Amino acid sequence: MTSLISANGVDLPTRRLGQTGLRLPVLGFGTAPVGLSGYQDPGFDQKQSERNSLSALDAAIDYGIKFFDTAPAYANKIPTDGWSTDRASERMLGQALSNHGSKRDQLFIATKNMFDRMDAEGIRKSLDHSLRLLQTDYVDLLQIHGIIAKPFRADNWRNFITDEVLETFLQLRQEGKVRYIGVSGYREGALSALIETGVFQVVMPQFNYFYRGAEYELVKLAQQYGVAVIPMRPLTGGLMQGMLDEFFPGQKPSANPFKVAMKYILQFDCVSTIPVGMRTAREVEENVRLIQELEQEIGLGR
């Protein structure tokens, strides 16, 4: 297979990032598989996995992918009462950024707070740790990480995202440690209410071919308020492959299911970029090809 890489990467279609004035390639890189050992087979080789992940990150930067989404919680899980502090995803992304130091200002790095510390001190300490691991003095996007509480609704979101949390995020932006702020989560009603506050430039709902709740209200509000939507698990987070393995074992589908998933999520104009989880350089190249095919077939730039 001939490589797509040229001296200047490849021409990936771009979209507006809400009302920030920025444009990003529609294909982004989701680093959860880089850091979460749970994405791997139980007996996987950690060192080889990290080598593969670093190759994937390097390839993505060479191909011209700009958006990289990470989080402190994207870490190797170990037996503990809380979340691991390994932060493998941030650490490896930082190594990749160091390898491409001259390109830092051309990239868009997004991370999140350690979500078991929703207080000013905890948020600041989490970000400072992230900056050290990422080997940078700022992140382009800091997001409140995935509120998963069942009562997280439009009428009670302030019980979880307090004035202290909002003020801390805004202060970090004023200090230059953060360029933009966002929020991720699993309750579309609450996220829609957060869009209406006008505080956030980006919102990250779980949104894909199987999880379509954001389609009914959130995307319309995001379009209205000029808020960028960056979908969580845009290619279904493994559900698509699991369905194929269960119902069509050993069979090759007539259409590439991941291309179908890309086509679905990119039909929405407010979707700025899709952070696809990738573990190898080969997966990066395959996803770049799918995006190029869709660009030729339906046009993706907005």
Does some domain include residue 181? yes
Does some domain include residue 29? yes
Q: What is the pLDDT of residue 144?
A: 95
User: Which amino acid, one-letter code, is at 247?
Assistant: F
Give the Cα separation of 284 and 287 in Å (integer): 5
Q: What is the pLDDT of residue 49?
A: 82
Q: Could you give the residue ranges of the DSSP H alpha helices within 66-217?
A: 88-99, 120-134, 163-174, 188-196
Does some domain include residue 6? no
Does some domain include residue 3? no
Residues near 131 by beta carbon (within 8 Å), at least 6 away in sequence? 137, 138, 139, 177
Give the Cα separation of 220 and 268 in Å (integer): 9
Does some domain include residue 11? no
Which structural domain, as residue segments, surrounds residue 31?
A: 24-298
Contact between residue 202 and residue 231 where contact means Cβ atoms under 8 Å apart? no
Q: What is the pLDDT of residue 241?
A: 80
Give the Cα separation of 64 and 5 in Å (integer): 9
Reduced to 3 DSSP states, what percent helix, strand and coil does the chain have, rounded to the nearest 5?
A: 45, 15, 40
Report helix angle 281-298 to 46-63, nearest 10: 30
User: Which pTM does this prediction carry?
Assistant: 0.92
Q: How many domains does the chain have?
A: 1
Q: What is the pLDDT of residue 34?
A: 83
Does some domain include residue 184? yes
Does some domain include residue 15? no
Q: What is the pLDDT of residue 149?
A: 63
Does some domain include residue 19? no
Q: Which residues on adjacent β-strands are paired with residue 67?
A: 108
- Per-residue pLDDT tens digits of the chain, which is 302 residues long: 344 544 456 889 999 999 999 999 999 999 998 877 655 455 667 778 889 999 999 999 999 999 999 999 888 755 455 555 688 899 999 999 999 988 999 999 999 998 778 899 999 999 999 999 999 999 999 999 977 666 788 888 888 899 999 999 999 999 999 999 999 999 899 999 999 999 999 999 999 999 999 999 999 999 999 999 999 999 987 788 888 888 888 888 888 999 999 999 999 999 999 999 999 999 999 999 999 999 999 999 88
**CATH classification at residue 261:** 3.20.20.100
